Amino acid sequence: MTEFHPIETERLLLRRFSLDDAQDVQRLAGDWDIARMTINIPHPYEDGVAEEWISRQREPFDRGEVIALAATLKPEGTFIGCVSLGVNKKNHWAELGYWIGKPHWNKGYCTEAAGALMDYGFRVLELNRIQARHLASNPASGRVMQKLGMSYEGTLRQVVFLRGSYEDLAVYAILRDENDV
């Protein structure tokens, strides 16, 4: 991937992760209310897991396969969450993912961060499609997708076995020509 420049929005700076973020990642992502609404965040969030996860992001980021960014508040730089694109270069699409720490909920940060990264995906990465999925038990995530202009495409029934039970995933997507890039 070419050199990455942080993405700025009105209130946020989206930048590459550093190991200095590990303590905040563990504290915020380790909250049960975050973990229970995601597929890949463990609970409890053990010591060392954040450092390992951040370290594993470097190579896929450099190859342009996974663009995982720390969402921080401007101007102070307070870490509030993560937004990411898992890129399928061959087919010109990506999977959007996000989480925002509970102290920062209901302020529009998730939509702002995800929208900025979605714009980056269409404009810079020249993607044709960006899709996202959410647990059916997490309708707030679906509202973010709707605010981003994504269309509901269907539900994958009982596709995830998570914490002892099967979960449905709702799928949303937006195409390049449907976006206001």
130 - beta bridge partners? Answer: 94, 174
- pLDDT score recorded for residue 2: 62
**Per-residue pLDDT tens digits for 147-171:** 999 999 999 999 999 989 999 999 9
Pairing of the two strands 79-88 and 66-73: antiparallel
**Per-residue pLDDT tens digits for 45-79:** 899 999 999 999 999 999 999 999 999 999 999 99
Task: Report all structural domains of the chain as residue ranges with CATH numbers, in order of start.
Answer: 7-127 (3.40.630.30)
| pTM confidence score | 0.93
Per-residue DSSP letters for 32-43? HHHHTT-SS--S
